Structure 1
């Protein structure tokens, strides 16, 4: 199999291995910092990848995304402050365990569950990606456009608490993507006479502004008091902080079930690891024999959401690599890295760059093992390191890095201005209940959607009816409408309750 050739390639390249291990360490630390997400770290590090080999660049950022998802559990367990949104489910049982003096035990369960869930999702990706790509090769522009349209609807309606605000966020992303020259007629669109906008809004400063500056501004409005470790989190009592097979064995059914839940959710654009974690936690509690202990410090309550959270990572790459549709914000950022290195993502990717892709998957597997070892033996030390960094130093340093990264992307002060405006936009959207992630994903999708739409109309003798008369295209239109209807029904029931 090609994956074994990929593993052989990676294991014989010490420089590539070094980038993989660096990604695992950076992701774990970033994920453990309350308020700083893996998406923000990846966005800031994108300019660094300009000078790297394509495989090393992709592997470095891909592993940061994986490790960052896991790292959020460290803050959730130790500080009662989820490092990522998905780790909020881990916090429910993780922090009570820390209060009982079992922080290291909880982190070991989180590490093992994250690794097992991540490996499960990665294997599903490796085994199924070729089949998905073969199907995608048979899709024409009408089918691709309806897939894009369904993705817009799903992303806009599912991400966030409000359907209207979610769809508005997605629509704003599409509008921003239209700034620049029309790809067919060459006419200006929304440039307002600004020459720098002729090439459109650059992806890197937009992402850095939305994910990094917006988050820094959000954290600036919160109390600056540093989180404190619980009084009994010192690693002293082996009985409380060691993990035996007898203790972990009851977690295994929850890990397997949650891995399948996370894998299924990961394949659907826009749902993401947060939804996977909470769905898995709810399903695990419903099926648990000791359901009354969940919420009070059950190890299974840590295992279930962590397995689902990390199982999302691999499958979320499937729609990105085969259709060019990012399934998460991290996927949207990776689109930029593919573009930087001249790699055309889509159905033909596994025809033109098969070796590169399977080597990337191999890097993902090695990265999982790397953060697993680092986390199992060193998560507590990462927590202690994080707590010693004052917020008054950390966030200004992040802001300076964001400014530098925006400038380096194209050597333009205009891009720094784009980053600042995007940051203010992202911060304002969060404050008003809109969703910046939906904006960025839609911004990335819009170019492909416009191209597919125009190609479809050129193929059609009946105008827009081409999207209804072709069965696969019609099926995806129905899927998008069904997803919207289900979301409306879900919110209506929640309000009635």
Structure 2
């Protein structure tokens, strides 16, 4: 009964005319900003923050939050159509979304993206409504020990991202780890792998690295393909909304990936310091291990689009739990939103939900309204987005390069980031040509520093005693899962090898028995 009264209170706030208007403005801006490679919600929220000073605090937060989760919708558009991640959290979507577009299934990929995003957000909002205080309490139990264990699980799982080439994946993860430690050591201040460049003292930024490995590398691949063949751009027929709805068999297969992705995203999003990027990477890796079609991931598998999109959108919603309930921002964007709340006189913390119910429940209802708006905004526009594929490469590629450079520069207003992007673009091109997948590099780059920082913090607190991991049940369970991820494939490989040897011996024994049989008198 109390929940219904809280929802009614939130509806009174969210259904006000100004709240609906600025919610729509926020999600529309978020979609447009997300579709522009490298710009991201952080820059958009920072620019729009001064415009909210004259607004009612709840309405201002509704608009700024709309920009945040709207960017997750928009970011996947460029990932699917151009292999160019609009936001870091949508980089993993390109692994299967872009191959689907190359096979003439761009409309289906965009529909799955919108559908999975809406479902992931809706599931996360339900968790937010029913379990926000409980999830906040669980999140408080995660210390550096648990963070190290869960990030290590993500790193080990990265070896599954390249299908049947775990050794190549491992090499790419290790390379990503090396990239992640570039810069000044947080403890000693020693420069690591900076190569004498002062610009690398703060380390490499995620956006230039991702834009290079995925965006510039793809531009170079397209230029090579265009040089080898004079093929005209593909003719894209008009796409009707009714034609985009998948068959029931496909929808049934997407239910489980969406539920798994949303679950992973909701959990990761509620952990301070994780965010939607980590959530989408771990959801994709987990789905690849559990899905029956996991060996087809990376070739245009719909589940490879559904799982990470459900995860990153779910993570965006539950990222508000530590921010609002604990006063701890989940990532950089949430830190800006936390500052916006304080500017408007709202103090997040354990007492926030009971003392500011109209703000919390107004936000919760606006999340769902905003996602409905995004669904209604994005589905009719799929046909327009698909027509991007018909633009000639001579026109499209320079525009892509322009947006890549602009997005890289906007990270820190530093031209050096453009050079970093171009370097990783050339590197990504040669990696793809050599049969290596760039995706594990990104996972190692994102999770590596988190693993290092939390391991150091754990060892400092425990005074070097590694048995601390055995004393914390959550960390112990996560480490056991990590060991299983490593040992199960090895066990399967050993069993397969033994079965092949046994079959070979049985075959040899059978052939010998045939040779040793006596020849009948009639044949002598």
Task: Tell me which interval the TM-score lies in, with the shorter structure as reference length.
Answer: 0.5 to 0.7
Residues 69-123 of structure 1, C-alpha deviation per residue, up to 9 Å, x if partnerless?
5898899xxxxxxx9444479789996xx9xxxx9xx799869854763454333
1:311 paired residue number: 310
CA contact (8 A) 1:214 1:427 kept: yes
Q: Indicate which of 8, 11, 16 corresponds to 2:13.
A: 8
1:163 matched to which residue of 2? Answer: 166
Among 391, 394, 397, the alignment partner of 2:393 is: 391
Could you say if the C-alpha distance between residues 448 and 423 of structure 1 is closer, same or farther in structure 2, counting changes exceeding 3 Å?
same
Q: CA deviation at 1:419?
A: 1.8
Unaligned runs of 5+ in 2: 51-60, 83-92, 269-278, 295-300, 324-329, 340-346, 501-524
- Contact 1:130 1:350 (C-alpha < 8 Å) held by counterparts: no
Q: Which residue of 2 aligns with 1:52?
A: 48
Does residue 225 (structure 1) correspond to residue 232 (structure 2)? The answer is yes
Correspondences of 1:59-458 after superposition (within 5 Å): 59-67=66-74, 69=76, 84-87=94-97, 113-114=115-116, 117-127=119-129, 128=131, 130-154=133-157, 156-161=158-163, 162-223=165-226, 225-229=232-236, 259-264=258-263, 266=265, 269=279, 270-272=281-283, 310-317=309-316, 335=331, 337-338=333-334, 351=350, 364-384=367-387, 386-458=388-460
Give the Å deviation of 1:137: 0.9
Alignment CA distance shift 1:389-1:58 (3 Å) = farther
Deviation at 1:153, TM superposition (A): 1.1
Deviations 1:414-471 (A, max 9, x none): 2222222222233333333434333233323333322221222222255333334443
* Distance across 2 between alignment mates of 1:107 and 1:472: 37
- SS in structure 2 of the partner of residue 428 of structure 1: helix
Q: Does the C-alpha gap of structure 1 residues 369 and 465 become closer, same or farther in structure 2, counting only changes over 3 Å?
A: same
When structure 1 is superposed on structure 2, of 65-74 and 201-210 the one drifting more is 65-74
Tell me how far 1:20 sits from its aligned partner: 0.5
Gaps of 5+ in 1: 31-39, 76-82, 284-301, 325-333
In the aligned structure 2, how far is the partner of 1:350 from the partner of 1:159?
A: 38
- How far does residue 254 in structure 1 lie from its aligned partner after superposition? 6.0
Q: Do the aligned partners of 1:213 and 1:423 also contact (CA within 8 Å) in 2? A: yes
Partner of 1:41: 37
Whole-angstrom CA distance in 1 between matches of 2:110 and 2:215:
30
User: Does structure 2 conserve the Cα–Cα contact (< 8 Å) formed by 1:24 and 1:63?
Assistant: yes
3-state DSSP of counterpart to 2:467: helix
- Please state how far the C-alpha of 1:50 moved relative to its aligned partner: 4.1
Cα offsets for 1:335-393 (capped at 9, x unmatched):
454567787xxxx9975998999877666534432342234444334434x24532221
The structure with the larger Rg is 2
The Cα shift of 1:478 comes to: 1.1
Equivalent residue, structure 2, for 1:294: none
How far is the alpha carbon of 1:479 from its aligned partner? 1.0
TM-score using structure 1 length = 0.67
Which shifted more, 180-189 or 2-11?
Answer: 2-11
Distance 1:357 1:410, change over 3 A: farther
Q: Is the 8 A contact 1:87 1:277 kept in 2?
A: no
Find the residue that maps to 2:124 and give its secondary structure: helix
**133-142 or 83-92, which deviates more:** 83-92
SS in 2 for 1:41: coil
| Aligned length, in residue pairs | 433
CA distance in 1, matches of 2:394, 2:384: 21
Bigger mean CA offset, 359-368 vs 407-416: 359-368
Q: CA 1:352/1:211 → structure 2, altered by over 3 Å: closer, same or farther?
A: farther
**Equivalents in 1 of 2:337, 2:145: separation in Å?**
28
- TM (norm. structure 2) is 0.64
User: 2:476 corresponds to which residue?
Assistant: 474
- The range that moved more, 391-400 or 430-439, is 430-439
SS in 1 for 2:466: helix
Mapped partners of 1:6, 1:208: distance in 2: 40
Match of 1:52, SS state, is helix
Supply the distance in 2 between the matched residues of 1:111 and 1:193 (Cα, whole angstroms). 43
Partner residue, 1:292: none
